[in-house]
């Protein structure tokens, strides 16, 4: 067997992925990690440039010698370029995330390589190309939550409960290990409607705590999911904590309830002002305010078992905001 051979995985559950990876390792298949690069680099990557780089790489439509690029993968990660790939021997299909070596992909590898949880999509193998690209292989899921919520398919209370329970469990697991995902949103949750299984993906801007004050407010979170304490920037911004993920998770559930973005707007300035206004209404208890009225309607559309917890997760004060780990513990009991 060659010194390095791409391990091959395609099962329905994370536990099955783990068992098959272990069996491959026992058989002598070595999974080569991406060489460690600077984890401070979390810049967004131009997918078009990656496409050009791939075209100029020997093999054109290949990643290494084992994976053939089939086409772009819609909705499985927002950083770098994500492709559907096919294993040349088994013909099974996976998702491959590709970035330049000195970009945020290594951040994901370094964070994910020590994590195994049924609500977090696993990295199956990774590699560095001679042409300056790094990539990793992950399971290919049918859709992501953002796309599913904008389809004609139903997303009933049972699906909402499954999403919430798995999201809280996965985030609580990360937070116990000092990891803030920092970009929780429906587009970063992939979904298998057949099994009602949800997976957190895209750790390209995840943060390992502790982090210096004022250095994370601009780079973390899609603006519509950024908590009010991180709207301010620079020296006014507080230290990022796991409670920021709590806020983003609550907004993800509100989007699952209404199938629309809770904070929308024509510009970043407009969205930021809506978040500030919402926080003011929460802090002063303005029950008749437009944002609180909208919030109550969205919460009422959620399943009864989820409503109370979502309200606790979206508290304007991070010190009083519920943690995902505590919510997950309550749900288990």
Residue range 309-320, pLDDT digits in tens: 999 999 999 999
Q: Which residue, among 107, 126, 117, 119, has the nearest Cα to 9 in the 3D structure? A: 126
* CB distance 123 to 135 below 8 Å: no
Tell me, what's the pLDDT at 287?
77
Maximum CA pair distance of the chain?
69
* CB distance 175 to 323 below 8 Å: yes
Strand pairing class (143-144; 133-139):
unpaired
Is 81 in a helix, a strand, or coil? strand
Tell me, what's the pLDDT at 180?
94
Domains of the chain, with CATH numbers? Answer: 14-139 (3.30.200.20), 143-332 (1.10.510.10)
Which residue, chain included where needed, has tokens 């979206």?
A: 314
Length of the chain: 333
Tell me, what's the pLDDT at 56?
37
Strand pairing class (143-144; 189-192):
antiparallel
- Per DSSP, helices labelled H in 114-223 are 145-149, 157-176
Phi, psi of 304, rounded to the nearest 5 degrees:
-55, -35
Spans in the chain with pLDDT lower than 50 = 1-21, 23-59, 214, 216-217
Tell me, what's the pLDDT at 208?
87
Question: What's the rounded Cα separation, in Å, for the pair 273 and 302?
Answer: 26
- Token reading at 170: 């996965």
């Amino acid at each position: 067997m060659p010194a390095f051979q791409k391990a091959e995985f395609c099962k329905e559950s994370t536990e099955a992925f783990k068992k098959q990876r272990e069996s491959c390792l026992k058989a002598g298949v070595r999974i080569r990690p991406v060489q460690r690069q600077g984890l401070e680099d979390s810049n967004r990557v131009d997918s078009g440039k990656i496409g050009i780089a791939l075209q100029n790489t020997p093999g054109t439509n290949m990643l290494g010698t084992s994976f053939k690029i089939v086409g772009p993968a819609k909705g499985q990660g927002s950083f770098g370029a994500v492709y559907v790939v096919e294993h040349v021997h088994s013909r099974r299909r996976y998702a491959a995330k590709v970035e330049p070596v000195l970009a945020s992909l290594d951040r994901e590898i370094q964070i994910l390589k020590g994590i195994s949880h049924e609500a977090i999509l696993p990295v199956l193998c990774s590699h560095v190309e001679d042409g300056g690209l790094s990539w990793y292989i992950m399971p290919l899921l049918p859709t992501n939550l953002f796309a599913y919520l904008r389809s004609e398919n139903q997303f009933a209370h049972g699906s909402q409960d499954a999403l919430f329970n798995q999201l809280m469990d996965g985030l609580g697991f990360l937070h116990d290990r000092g990891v803030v995902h920092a970009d929780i949103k429906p587009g970063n949750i992939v979904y298998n409607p057949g099994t009602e299984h949800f997976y957190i993906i895209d750790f390209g801007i995840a943060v390992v705590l502790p982090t210096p004050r004022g250095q994370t407010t601009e780079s973390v979170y899609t603006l519509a999911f950024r908590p009010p304490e991180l709207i301010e920037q620079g020296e006014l911004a507080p230290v990022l904590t796991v409670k920021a993920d709590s806020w983003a998770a609550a907004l993800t559930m509100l989007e699952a309830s209404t199938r629309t973005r809770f904070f929308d707007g024509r510009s970043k300035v407009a969205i930021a002002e809506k978040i500030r206004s919402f926080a003011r209404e929460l802090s002063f208890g303005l029950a008749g305010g437009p944002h609180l009225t909208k919030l109550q309607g969205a919460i009422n559309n959620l399943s009864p078992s989820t409503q109370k917890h979502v309200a606790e997760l979206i508290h304007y004060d991070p010190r009083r905001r519920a943690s995902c780990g505590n919510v997950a513990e309550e749900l288990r009991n």
